[in-house]
Structure 1
Amino acid sequence: MRNLLYRLYERSLENSLTLEDLPRHIGVILDGNRRWAERKPGTTTAHGHAAGAAKVIEFLGWCQDIGVNVATLYLLSTDNLTKRGSTELGELMDVIGTLSGDLAASESFKLQLVGDRESLPKELLKKLEDAEKASKKATGLHVNLAVGYGGRKEIADAMRLILKKHAKAGTSVEALADLLTPELITEHLYTVGQPDPDLVIRTSGEQRLSGFLLWQSANSEFYFEEALWPDFRRVDFLRAIRAFERRHRRFGA
């Protein structure tokens, strides 16, 4: 009976959505894998990250079901690279490498690595770039894999690219100051050419961005979910979409 009621509620949520008001780009901060593992006796952190990877595949299917165009997954931050223990970090990178290969092999997603490539170990970088190349011709959901990603680092990298480009062209500092606009910076971000995220979801009850898409999320709607990432259900996803549709977006006005 409980499963039947759940399915009926899920269907009711889905039927309540308005197609023209759906988000085109969803960003998600996949938080809670470690805590999920800690709450299950005999479960290791590695199992928690593996469960999180399995949830990613489910989540992307839900995005496809409702017609989302772009999904950005915050898988590994620049802080994670320096602050996580070496054992856990190695396990997490193994999971990410395997996940990227599985997503590419499905031929359902066009993958793009967004992050500081120079900060990543060569083995992981190769797996991610191989997956990126293998999925280049895919026409389905565009999936950004935010690995070695930090919002401040992305903005600094964009500014560095602009400075190098104009220094090479002989542009003076004064002239560059006149040319510098938000649009110019946007053109040099990792996500150039993509729509900004309409909706950013964070699981595990935490209510902060942790450096995720700082520039791009200026006008995003945020949804904070109590469930840990491996426990995130389709009904939770649909609630987030419903909440998004009910908000009156002002875009800073």
Structure 2
Amino acid sequence: MKKLLEKIDCNNIPNHIAIIMDGNGRWAKNRGKLRTFGHEKAIQSVIETLNGCEELGIPYITLYVFSLENWNRPKQEIDSLMKLFHTNLKIHLEQIHEKNVKIITIGELKKFSEIIQKELLFFMNKTKHNTSGTLILALSYSAREEILRATKNIAEKICNGLFSIKDINYSFFRNHLYTKDLPDVDLIIRTSGEQRISNFLLWQAAYAELYFTNILWPDFRKKDLFEAIIDYQKRKRRFGNVE
């Protein structure tokens, strides 16, 4: 671990990392277990990753916890996931609060039970003044739905005479997204070997670097995060410009 840390340039740390935490089901299947067993073991990977971000001073991290499309999974798996959320949410969000980290969510929270919604809102309010970092939980999230939602909101305001089409620019549109107060993503990490971004932060990741690893999410540890950062630092980011 120390050797990995020595390779990291502290002056070139990504400001915002987003992670597609993929592979829980396959991890469990490889061990002859139910998919929910993989979801349970994934919590340790979240803790390790947050600790690594804290160590490196990464101010923003977004975790793709549950997509809007995930509601289409078998009812038994969804019920188990909701039970897992309910039983673990308070414990782990309290630990995050103790680290002075702000917690916010993006996505359609109304699809969750009232108990889970209240728990999330409680910790968002409780941590809103925390300053050590920001953890963004993507819950019931879809990038296409986010963009469609923003478009509808803008159209409604124009129809009501609050704005005109001339007012629409990048900044105006961005201010109608869930992430309006957050910086764009610098690095997207996806585990499990899949090489796609699966309807995740399409607007915010326009110039993000992509890092894919074959490691299944329950096996992802701090050293794997550090390796992703080292790979990121080897790249030259041009943002559409020439060298």
What TM-score do the two structures reach when normalised by structure 2? Answer: 0.92
1:39 counterpart (30, 34, 45) = 30
Partner of 2:11, secondary structure, is: helix
What is the deviation of 1:170?
Answer: 4.7
Q: Is the 8 A contact 1:100 1:131 kept in 2?
A: no
What is the deviation of 1:188?
Answer: 1.1
Specify the alignment match of 1:6 in structure 2: none
Specify the alignment match of 2:183 in structure 1: 195
Where does structure 2 lack aligned partners over 5 or more consecutive residues? none
Please give the alpha-carbon distance, in whole angstroms, between the structure 1 residues aligned to 2:234 and 2:93: 34
Alpha carbons of structure 1 residues 98 and 155: separation in structure 2 relative to 1, 3 Å: farther
Specify the alignment match of 2:15 in structure 1: 24
What is the deviation of 1:230?
Answer: 0.5
Q: Which amino acid aligns with 2:49?
A: F
Alpha carbons of structure 1 residues 168 and 26: separation in structure 2 relative to 1, 3 Å: same
Q: Is the 8 A contact 2:186 2:209 kept in 1?
A: yes
Matched, 1:52 2:14: no
Specify the alignment match of 2:64 in structure 1: 74
2:105 counterpart (102, 109, 113) = 113
Q: Percent identity of the aligned residues? A: 35
Specify the alignment match of 2:51 in structure 1: 61
What is the deviation of 1:121?
Answer: 3.2
Bigger shift: 181-190 or 204-213? 181-190
Specify the alignment match of 1:145 in structure 2: 137
Q: Which amino acid aligns with 2:150?
A: A
What is the deviation of 1:118?
Answer: 3.0
Bigger shift: 196-205 or 101-110? 101-110
2:85 counterpart (96, 108, 111) = 96
Please give the alpha-carbon distance, in whole angstroms, between the structure 1 residues aligned to 2:94 and 2:37: 22
Specify the alignment match of 1:163 in structure 2: 155
What is the deviation of 1:196?
Answer: 0.7
Partner of 1:19, secondary structure, is: coil
Partner of 1:62, secondary structure, is: helix
Partner of 1:23, secondary structure, is: coil
Partner of 1:20, secondary structure, is: coil
Deviations 1:36-92 (A, max 9, x none): 111113x332221111122111111110000000000000001001x2111111211
RMSD, aligned CA: 1.5
Specify the alignment match of 1:249 in structure 2: 237
Please give the alpha-carbon distance, in whole angstroms, between the structure 2 residues aligned to 1:61 and 1:23: 15
Specify the alignment match of 1:5 in structure 2: none
What is the deviation of 1:99?
Answer: 4.3
Please give the alpha-carbon distance, in whole angstroms, between the structure 2 residues aligned to 1:48 and 1:113: 23
Please give the alpha-carbon distance, in whole angstroms, between the structure 2 residues aligned to 1:170 and 1:110: 33
Specify the alignment match of 1:131 in structure 2: 123
Please give the alpha-carbon distance, in whole angstroms, between the structure 2 residues aligned to 1:36 and 1:244: 26
Please give the alpha-carbon distance, in whole angstroms, between the structure 2 residues aligned to 1:50 and 1:135: 25
Specify the alignment match of 2:169 in structure 1: 181
What is the deviation of 1:20?
Answer: 1.3
Please give the alpha-carbon distance, in whole angstroms, between the structure 1 residues aligned to 2:112 and 2:222: 32
